[in-house]
Structure 1
Amino acid sequence: MLSVDSFEIAGRRVWIGVFFSEKIQGITFSLEKGQFKSNINRLTGFLRRRGVSVDTARKQSEYPSLVMEVITGELDNGELLPMMSFEGLTPFERRVYEWLTKNVKRGSVITYGSLAEALKTSPRAIGGAMKRNPYPIVVPCHRVVARDGIGYYTPRLEEKVFLLEIEGVKGWTGSRRT
């Protein structure tokens, strides 16, 4: 099922969509309604290519509100981690997502290189895992930055800046170098 809602956060309208069955299968969000529709389609395709059976029928749930509470800091990312299905992920991706969620808390960042060092892998592998993250916000890929700037973010850098600014991480948001 797909649960969709929008919220006013820090003076911006944020659309949040959550695919779920018994647990959360994927999350997407956007600061623009048109982009949000594209994000839903992109996530649907990604999950299906990974063998996840997703139902696009709409059904209200508490999941978008929970994701919003992570954005606003009312909930810690780790509190939602048990709600993730982890369907369709490789063991490497799951290890990266769990480590990141448990260790890089709100208001802090980690570089691709430091995360790679902690997990004994390469920064390029970390970058690929971040790009494929089906649980943005809960798995805080927005907190992974380049050593010399904010780094890249899928699908739009504006969302990464927004999330970091909400969390009070201002030092990295002035640099939009990718």
Structure 2
Amino acid sequence: MLGAGTFEIAGRNVWIAVFWRKKIQGVTFALDREQFERNVERLSGFLRKRGVNVDLTPESSDYPFLVKDIITGKVENTDVLSELSFEGVTPFEGCVYEWLTKNVKRGSVITYGALAKALGTSPRAIGGAMRRNPYPIVVPCHRVVAKNGIGYYTPRLDEKVFLLKIEGVEGWTSSKLTL
């Protein structure tokens, strides 16, 4: 099923969609409607390639509200970790997503290198796992930054900047892109 909603957060409209069955299969969001539609298409295609049975039938759900509450700080990321299905996620990705969610809290960041060192892997492998994260916001890939700047973000860097600013991580948001 697909639960979706539009919320005003920090003076911006934020579109949030959650693919779900018994648990959350994937999350996407955007700061404009056109990008949101592209993100929904991109995520559904990615999940299907990973063998996840995605149903695009719109269905009322509390999940988009839960994701909004994570963005606004009303709910901790770790509180939602058990709601993720981890369907189509490799064991490595699952390990990275779980460690990140449990250890990098709201208002803080970690570099690709530091995360790689904590997990005994390479920064490039961490970057790949972040790029493939089907649960953005819940699994806070936006909190992973480059050692010399904000780094990248799929699909758009302005969304990473938006999330970090809401969380009060101002130092990193001006390093490569200013809204």
- What TM-score do you get using the length of structure 2 for normalisation? 0.98
- Structure 2 counterparts to residues 53-132 of structure 1, below 5 A: 53-132=53-132
Counterpart CA distance in 1 for 2:23 and 2:138 is 13
Deviation readout 1:60-92 (Å, 9 max, x if unpaired) = 100000000000000000000000000001000
**Percent identity of the aligned residues?**
69
Counterpart CA distance in 2 for 1:175 and 1:108 is 15
Identify the residue that residue 137 of structure 1 maps to in structure 2: 137
SS of 2:170 mapped into structure 1: coil
Counterpart CA distance in 1 for 2:142 and 2:155 is 11
Identify the residue that residue 31 of structure 1 maps to in structure 2: 31
Counterpart CA distance in 2 for 1:104 and 1:127 is 16
After the TM superposition, which parts of structure 1 deviate over 2 Å for at least 4 consecutive aligned residues? none
1:159 aligns with 2:142: no
Between the two proteins, the alignment pairs up a number of residues equal to: 177
Question: Residue type matched to 1:175 in 2?
Answer: S
- Structure 2 counterparts to residues 35-46 of structure 1, below 5 A: 35-46=35-46
Counterpart CA distance in 1 for 2:88 and 2:71 is 25
Question: Residue type matched to 1:7 in 2?
Answer: F
* Unmatched 5+ stretches in structure 1: none
Question: Residue type matched to 1:165 in 2?
Answer: K
Counterpart CA distance in 2 for 1:106 and 1:14 is 19
Question: Residue type matched to 1:129 in 2?
Answer: A
Counterpart CA distance in 1 for 2:146 and 2:176 is 10
Counterpart CA distance in 2 for 1:70 and 1:80 is 9
More deviation in 36-45 or 168-177?
A: 168-177
Deviation readout 1:77-111 (Å, 9 max, x if unpaired) = 00000000000010000000000000000000000
Counterpart CA distance in 2 for 1:24 and 1:161 is 25
Deviation at 1:176, TM superposition (A): 1.4
- What TM-score do you get using the length of structure 1 for normalisation? 0.99
Deviation at 1:150, TM superposition (A): 0.1
Counterpart CA distance in 1 for 2:89 and 2:65 is 24
Counterpart CA distance in 1 for 2:152 and 2:24 is 25
Identify the residue that residue 16 of structure 2 maps to in structure 1: 16
